[in-house]
């Protein structure tokens, strides 16, 4: 059974969004952060910032 998507408590830089997503899909957190930054830059940054803030508010923090 796959664990639910949650903000990481151990693998975070700002709010644990990228670290939590990396743990959820089984990828390297650095790769997820790099992809996030590249996608944000190429989409004029605003949608990426908005997505991060919404994810910070919506995705629960990892328990434990």
- Would you list the domain boundaries of the chain? 17-58
Mean pLDDT along residues 17-24 = 96
CA nearest neighbour of 24 among 9, 51, 39, 2 = 2
R_g (Cα) of the chain, nearest Å: 12
Q: How confident is the model at residue 32 (pLDDT cuts 50, 70, 90)?
A: very high
Q: Quick check: 60 pLDDT over 90?
A: yes
Burial of 18 (0-12, 13-18, 19+ CB in 10 A): buried
| Cα–Cα distance measured from residue 34 to residue 48, given in angstroms and rounded to the nearest whole number | 12
* pTM of the predicted model as reported, rounded to 2 decimal places: 0.84
| Cα–Cα distance measured from residue 64 to residue 50, given in angstroms and rounded to the nearest whole number | 28
Q: Quick check: 16 pLDDT over 80?
A: yes
């Amino acid at each position: 059974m796959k664990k639910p998507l949650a903000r990481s408590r151990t693998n975070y830089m700002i709010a644990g969004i990228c670290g939590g997503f990396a743990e959820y899909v089984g990828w390297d957190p650095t790769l997820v952060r790099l992809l996030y930054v590249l996608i944000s830059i190429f989409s004029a940054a605003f949608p990426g910032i908005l997505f991060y803030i919404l994810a910070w508010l919506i995705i629960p923090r990892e328990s434990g």
